[in-house]
Structure 1
Amino acid sequence: MLDIAVAYNKYKFLGNEFLTWLWYVIEADINLGELTQIKDRLISIKIGNSIVLENSLGDDAKEKISIKGDDAGLEEGTMALKKGGVVTEINLNLKIDEAEYRFTIKGESMNITGLKTPTSGKIEGPDEVEGAVLEKVFLCNNVFEIIDALYSAYIKRRISDTWTAQDLTAMRAWIQL
């Protein structure tokens, strides 16, 4: 069995690679329902107001590119991808049916930060607090379920025999556009 620190260092690239793949999935307009096998809900994801990429330059030197702003172009990001960079953090807008969520995922740890859920009903009294908490937990769980399904789809593709021939080739073609 691997020591936790050894396993973390050995596989920490997967989170950043997942976020890079997720950017590709969003830009290539791949059907998320088919990808995640969640067919009972309408799911759409868009890149939010920030994305951070990192490019290793060798000798422990790293180039970090941060793109922020609601109408920011992603040309610098695609240039970083062309130079071998990966997405290390991405802000996403997730829509499940009519409910909209906003959050940021950090690639190395897969932490979700700044989660904004749809507004819920107003709490009128102390007896409604428990219901409001349960509703908020349910809304947060929706995001975790979608991200888990996307990560599972990514891992299944990543370890498949067709990763290099199909997915990686398509991603490289997308980067070169």
Structure 2
Amino acid sequence: MLDIATAYNKYKFLGNDYLTWIWFLIETDQNISSLLNSKDVVTLEVGNSIVLENKLGDKSKEKITIKGDQAGLEEGTTALKKGAYVTQINLVCKINEDEYRFTIKGESLNITGLKTPKTDLSTKENEIEGVVLEKSFFCFNIFKVIDTLFLNYLEQRTADEWNIKGLQDIRNWIGSF
């Protein structure tokens, strides 16, 4: 059995690879709802920031950060061509009419800055429990989307045809810039 530090160092690329795969799904207009086997309409968009990292030959790293609501992703696509991968991405997820905004980090798959749909912030004491439950439900929705997509990614990544189909599709996408 691997100790924690060895396992971390061996598999830490998976989170960044996963975020790059998510960007690929978004840019190639993949049907997210079908990947999730969801009856709900689920869409993803790149939000207002994306961070990429490129390892350089001398153990140094190049970090590319793109921020802003109207920021173009040209610098990010150029970085992908040079071998960079996504280390952090801000996403907008729509589940039916509800909109969620959050940032996910590749190294840990931590979700930060989660903004859920608005709830009625009732001041009545007997309704506070309902507000808390509704917020919890919204958080659970996002965790379910991210976790299910990650499982889907792992199934594809470990499949025999990954090197033939999946990886080639991503390379073709990167080459199309």
TM-score clears 0.5: yes
Q: How does 1:88-107 map to 2 (within 5 A)?
A: 88-107=87-106
Amino acid at match of 2:94: K
Instruction: Quote the residue 2:109 is aligned against.
Output: 110
Asked if residue 30 in structure 1 is aligned to residue 46 in structure 2, the reply is no
Instruction: Quote the residue 1:128 is aligned against.
Output: 127
Amino acid at match of 2:110: N
Q: How far apart are residue 175 of structure 1 and its match?
A: 0.5
Instruction: Quote the residue 2:141 is aligned against.
Output: 142
Q: How far apart are residue 59 of structure 1 and its match?
A: 2.5
Is the deviation greater in 119-128 or in 73-82?
119-128
Instruction: Quote the residue 1:46 is aligned against.
Output: 45
Is the deviation greater in 120-129 or in 18-27?
120-129
Instruction: Quote the residue 1:4 is aligned against.
Output: 4
Instruction: Quote the residue 1:77 is aligned against.
Output: 76
Q: How far apart are residue 58 of structure 1 and its match?
A: 2.2
Amino acid at match of 1:68: K
Counterpart CA distance in 2 for 1:110 and 1:60 is: 24
Counterpart CA distance in 2 for 1:159 and 1:119 is: 39
Amino acid at match of 2:28: A
Counterpart CA distance in 1 for 2:14 and 2:54 is: 15
| Deviation sequence 1:29-78 (CA, Å, 0-9, x none) | 0111221222x100000000000000000222000000001111111101
Counterpart CA distance in 2 for 1:108 and 1:56 is: 15
- Equivalent residues, number: 176
State the secondary structure of the residue aligned to 2:56. Answer: strand
What CA RMSD, in Å, does the superposition of the two structures yield over aligned residues? Answer: 0.8
Counterpart CA distance in 1 for 2:58 and 2:152 is: 34
Counterpart CA distance in 1 for 2:53 and 2:101 is: 22
Task: Give the % identical residues.
Answer: 59
Q: How far apart are residue 124 of structure 1 and its match?
A: 2.5
Q: Which runs of 4+ in 1 moved over 2 A?
A: none
Instruction: Quote the residue 1:18 is aligned against.
Output: 18
Is the deviation greater in 122-131 or in 53-62?
122-131
Query: Where in structure 2 are there 5+ consecutive unaligned residues?
Result: none
Q: How far apart are residue 125 of structure 1 and its match?
A: 1.5
Query: Where in structure 1 are there 5+ consecutive unaligned residues?
Result: none
TM-score normalised according to structure 1 size: 0.97
Counterpart CA distance in 2 for 1:36 and 1:135 is: 22
Counterpart CA distance in 2 for 1:65 and 1:103 is: 19
Counterpart CA distance in 1 for 2:9 and 2:136 is: 31
Q: How far apart are residue 2 of structure 1 and its match?
A: 1.3
